[in-house]
Chain A
Amino acid sequence: MATAKSKSAKKRAVNGSKKGAAKAAPARAASGQLNKNTIRVRMYRIGFGDCFLVSLPIRGEDSKSDYKHILVDCGVHGRGDIKTMEQAIDNIAKVTGKKLAVVIGSHAHQDHISGFGKFAEKFAEFDIDEVWLPWAMDKNNKVANRFVKKQAALVSQLEDHFHALAARGAPVENGALEAVENLRGNEKAIELLRMGFGVNATVRYMTAGDKLKDPARIQGLSVRVLGPPTSEEFLSQMDPPAGQHYLRLVNGNVEPADSAPIFANKWTAQANAIGVPRLSLDDMQTLKERAEFPLDDLAFALTKVTNNTSLVVLLVFRGQYLLFPGDAEYGNWRWWLEQDDSGDILSRISFYKVSHHGSFNGTPKSAVEKMSEGRFGAMVSTQSAPWKSIPKPELMTALNLRAQKRIVRSDWISVDSAPAPLPGSMPVEPPRLPKGFSKGSIWVDYFINL
């Protein structure tokens, strides 16, 4: 879909990034230019994952760096990787002069933070002022630690289980396996984020209700943290279920993790023993399914738990409201939707990063309904692989209506051998991007006039 038109858009966008901006376009700038009167949100297409760069113009501070840059996530799911991340990071380096005021790691999932670990050397060259993380990633937070430990143990057990199932030739629900994988291999990225990339960046662990004024010396920026909460109800949802039973591979043989019998052998009845009732095959099958079922369920429950630890940040800059909810699902949203001014905030947003790649429960309907019709632009970083059900057509249709078509998907940028939107997937790419949006080689920009 990279038409001639989009190529020219790319040229403009690149030019506009640094030098062009210094020249200060007229107050009502044509969209597509970064200048001192525009905010730019750049969404990179890196596959199934988030990578957003927000550039804010700072007036009259230091003439050499007229912009402050905030990087929101940089990660891709192992099975939805389209190998463009390195290119994206190079572009970030170029655009920002390797200076990031803030790096946000929204939550501990591959598709949001893997890049920080995989391209650690590249990030080591950056000058980073602050790192913002959800409280759930804080090593010194007792509650967070308990969850993390419990989860890590469950994840490895679950993975063993699914692999053992596969080894036995049994069907494995791929969705469940992939969901578990999303939780893996993030240790390095998490560690780097926690130590502020080793460049003395200030690390903040944030909780719903936190407020910041002019953080990271970004004059005029105020920040409100809307999630994750620490309320009791929220925490009770976070606690992963325990005491399941697993299969595992031991020396190449499959056996249940707890194969030990629960009673002495003498109590096990032979099928034909007197007085032993006979269940029908159907009943036995149903019972066995009941006994197996919780594992797939658990796999999804676990990813949901982590999604709900997403840092939900509202950036308010010169009257513009930008909402970045990470992958927050309903448990996280609920808390702040119940606050008095949630309607007020949502009705004022000028930009919405669609939560959780446009999945069914990423954006609650009640939230969509509170957004002001036609007053905001939205971006959704998504792709039909590895989950065909993402993005959810009903939700996307509703958002498209609300935003009055000012919504753009990352998979409208065509990348070699990367999956294109499925037929029937919503919204459909229009011949021209809506006003305020323009395409680059592997990104889309959204400009907000100040």
Chain B
Amino acid sequence: MGNKPGTDESTIRHRPLKVYAFDPSRGRTLGNYMTINVEYEDVQPGPLGKYVHVIDYDATHDCYYLPIDLTERKILIQGGIDPNESDPRFHQQMVYAVVSETIRRFEFALGRTIVWAFERRIHDEYDERKPLRIFPHAMQEANAYYDRDLEALLFGYFKASETDAGVNIPGQTIFTCLSHDIVVHEATHALVDSQRDFFMEATSPDAPAFHEAFADIVALFQHFSFKEALLEVIQQTGGSIFRSVVDPETQPANGAPIIQAELTADNPLVGLAKQFGDAMGTRKALRSALGTPPNTNDLKKYNEPHTRGSILVAAVFDAFFTVYVRRTRDLMRIARAGGARMSSGDLNYDLANRLAEIAAKTAEGFLNICIRALDYCPPVDIQLGDFLRAMVTADYDLVSDDKYGYRMALIQAFRSRGIHPAGVASYSEESLLWSAPEGLSLHCKGLAFDLFSLNPRQQRQKNGKALWSFAKKHAELFCLTIGPDIKIQARTHHEVHRVSPDGQIMFNVIAEITQSREVPIDPNYPNLGKFKFRGGTTLILDENSNVKYSIPKPMGYEKDDENNERLIRQRAYQARRESDMAFSDFSEERLLGPELVERWSKSLNMTHRGY
């Protein structure tokens, strides 16, 4: 649009846009109509911005829907179109706003700009940014997913169950792009994929479970930034925001509720994608943050990614709610001492405000730990236990004193669910922290970080090369495999600028060193073909280019393959997936070698087809 006389766009910081805090099924209750202050950018119709491009093409009906022009005066005046299921332009506006907000949260926590996975691949050829495409009405299907090949987020729409539609009208069209949770969940998949090349490969039951859980965690924590919804839930639960139901606005006079104000409702903060779940006939939110009471058996029982992932979600939220309760205990005591009534609906307005503030802050703190922990994960084959170590180290690095007990709460929550990091002697903070190779101070030479560099791309390439030679030189110390045919690659690295709560500026370099070798799919049937078995190490360097942490996932040597636990686990897992896959029994062609390998590598996408 360019600058018009009399305006100066550089002073505009936000573009307010209306969205559903949850989904259309909540109506106006519990702060469901909300406004997101999207970071201001120049947009074309679509919207098309720097990071995302909303393209409203419907493959089922083979047509385009008219795109919204956010710069249109009538739309600007109202802060975007009002929530409206029947106007596709509101849908476009909502996905744009929600995805943009999610990106902003990642950039804030990671301390760097997001570059999409597919941009990274082409980065050397083009200097221009390539936005992630969003199809809000991609097809008629009860699903939504991140599609790496299409460089897009695909959102489906579908008819609600005719027999058991819950709060929906039977047969009503449900739009997955209007579910705040689903949009955040899918955007998170794309954001995680943007960080590393092979991080999302499904190498064990834990890897896809982690990715589903992580996306759910981000979506759930987002709930606690919805001020109005949070305040209402605090009112209706007497401050116990972790309860699965909220109290009615007024207690029924004779026990049984007669009017809607007397009905209890699900707590929207702790449930995910309620409308979607309802429309599928499950009569409840699709997934919940709370899960079952902690026990160490569930992890052995559940292998389906979403179910297994929910154990991780429950652990993180257990820690979050525990810290929230501890941080608000004094306020509650003071209120009670002053004779205040603490039952639902009666909370003093100021008290409710203070509780909301603490809940929001704590949630933001936890979300930041989770996102930052991505940098502290091994580059491939993540296990749930690795994530605990990553979170503990990420937080320790930035906030060494753990004033509010975040880390203790996390450790305890993981322990009680039997999520045990491999190779760790105890659940103490010290043994959970990642470490650097012992006794040595390893310095990486030749790194330059000139923020005002005239040629940032050249600088990047140079740094990549320096990191690569550094990793090669100390391959053994970093648990990398050395061999004539084995390459060491430094495909991704990131510069991180963060500010700790005590005002210190931190500068880190995160480098993902990866390597792979070909191993037979099944050692007993060599003609079945081979697959790429990966390993690698995440290196974290401090501001002086010294190694702070080395986080290895060794791939070992061929001679030890018989006892290579990771390899055995990956084989078992992939054989099981293969036999679970719907096609394998009836498919006409025999799956051999390359086809099988291709299916193995594509299989992650199949998980995503189940939001």
Query: Residue A271 at the B interface, CB < 8 A?
Result: yes
Complex contact B525–A394 (CB within 8 A): yes
Q: Which residues of B contact A261 (CB under 8 A)?
A: 61
Complex contact A236–B46 (CB within 8 A): no
Inter-chain CA distance A424–B524, complex, in Å, is 20
Complex contact B301–A360 (CB within 8 A): no
Partner of A360, one of B89, B302, B579: B579
B144 CB to closest chain A CB (Å) equals 12
Query: Residue A41 at the B interface, CB < 8 A?
Result: no
Q: Mark B38-50, 1 if CB is under 8 A from A, else 0.
A: 0000001110100
Q: Which of B105-113, B337-345, B432-440, B587-595 lies at the binding interface?
A: B587-595
Q: Which residues of B contact A264 (CB under 8 A)?
A: 86
Query: Residue B142 at the A interface, CB < 8 A?
Result: yes
Which A residues between 287 and 329 are near B, CB-CB below 8 angstroms?
A: 287-288, 290-291, 294, 297, 300-301, 303-304, 329
What would 28 A/B residue contacts be, using CB atoms closer than 8 Å? A242-B280, A243-B140, A243-B158, A243-B280, A244-B141, A244-B142, A262-B157, A263-B86, A269-B56, A269-B65, A273-B66, A274-B45, A276-B64, A276-B67, A277-B64, A290-B139, A294-B141, A297-B583, A300-B582, A300-B583, A360-B579, A360-B584, A361-B579, A365-B575, A388-B588, A389-B587, A393-B590, A394-B525
- Asked whether A287 and B57 contact (CB < 8 A) given A245-B141, A294-B141, A304-B585, the answer is yes
Q: Which residues of A contact B135 (CB under 8 A)?
A: 287
- Asked whether A356 and B67 contact (CB < 8 A) given A236-B307, A262-B173, the answer is no
Inter-chain CA distance A133–B62, complex, in Å, is 47
Q: Which of B23-31, B115-123, B147-155, B362-370 lies at the binding interface?
A: B147-155
B554 CB to closest chain A CB (Å) equals 26
Complex contact B586–A175 (CB within 8 A): yes
Apart from A243-B141, A288-B59, A361-B580, 13 more pairs, CB < 8 Å: A233-B303, A256-B60, A262-B61, A267-B65, A275-B67, A277-B46, A277-B48, A284-B57, A290-B139, A297-B583, A388-B588, A389-B588, A389-B590
A118 CB to closest chain B CB (Å) equals 24
Query: Residue A258 at the B interface, CB < 8 A?
Result: yes
Assign chain B's interface to a size class. Answer: 35 or more
Partner of A267, one of B88, B281, B528, B590: B88
Complex contact B528–A394 (CB within 8 A): yes
Complex contact A291–B582 (CB within 8 A): no
Query: Residue A170 at the B interface, CB < 8 A?
Result: no
What are the 7 tightest A-B residue pairs by CB atom distance, in nearest-first order?
A275-B45, A243-B142, A291-B139, A243-B158, A361-B579, A245-B140, A287-B59
B572 CB to closest chain A CB (Å) equals 8
Q: Mark A235-272, 1 if CB is under 8 A from B, else 0.
A: 01100011111000000000010100111100111010
Partner of B585, one of A236, A284, A359: A359
- Asked whether A277 and B55 contact (CB < 8 A) given A233-B301, A330-B580, A387-B588, the answer is yes
Complex contact A242–B583 (CB within 8 A): no
Closest B residue to A279 using CB positions: B57
From B57, B135, B524, residue with most partner A Cβ within 10 Å: B57
Q: Which residues of A contact B589 (CB under 8 A)?
A: 389
Query: Residue B82 at the A interface, CB < 8 A?
Result: no
Query: Residue B493 at the A interface, CB < 8 A?
Result: no
A44 CB to closest chain B CB (Å) equals 23
Complex contact A241–B142 (CB within 8 A): yes
Query: Residue A179 at the B interface, CB < 8 A?
Result: yes
Interface size on A, residues (CB 8 A): 60
A288 CB to closest chain B CB (Å) equals 5
- Asked whether A287 and B139 contact (CB < 8 A) given A262-B173, A360-B584, A361-B585, the answer is yes
Partner of A356, one of B64, B139, B524, B585: B585
- Asked whether A331 and B580 contact (CB < 8 A) given A262-B137, A291-B138, the answer is yes
Give A residues with C-beta under 8 Å from B.
Answer: 174-176, 178-179, 233, 236-237, 241-245, 256, 258, 261-264, 267-269, 271, 273-277, 279, 283-284, 286-288, 290-291, 294, 297, 300-301, 303-304, 329-331, 356, 359-362, 364-365, 387-390, 392-394, 398
Query: Residue B543 at the A interface, CB < 8 A?
Result: no
> Using a Cβ cutoff of 8 Å, how many contacts connect chains A and B?
164
Complex contact B281–A290 (CB within 8 A): no
Query: Residue B69 at the A interface, CB < 8 A?
Result: yes
Which B residues between 141 and 193 are near A, CB-CB below 8 angstroms?
A: 141-142, 147, 149-150, 154, 157-159, 161, 173
A314 CB to closest chain B CB (Å) equals 21
Query: Residue B87 at the A interface, CB < 8 A?
Result: yes
Closest B residue to A274 using CB positions: B45
Query: Residue B559 at the A interface, CB < 8 A?
Result: no
Inter-chain CA distance A309–B586, complex, in Å, is 18
Query: Residue B576 at the A interface, CB < 8 A?
Result: yes
From B56, B61, B159, residue with most partner A Cβ within 10 Å: B61
Complex contact B141–A267 (CB within 8 A): no
From A330, A390, A398, residue with most partner B Cβ within 10 Å: A330
Query: Residue B101 at the A interface, CB < 8 A?
Result: no
Complex contact A304–B60 (CB within 8 A): no
Q: Which residues of A contact B60 (CB under 8 A)?
A: 245, 256, 291
Q: Which residues of B contact A362 (CB under 8 A)?
A: 585
Q: Which residues of A contact B281 (CB under 8 A)?
A: 242
- Asked whether A268 and B139 contact (CB < 8 A) given A297-B582, A361-B579, the answer is no
Inter-chain CA distance A364–B584, complex, in Å, is 13
Inter-chain CA distance A331–B581, complex, in Å, is 11
Closest A residue to B572 using CB positions: A366
Complex contact A329–B583 (CB within 8 A): no
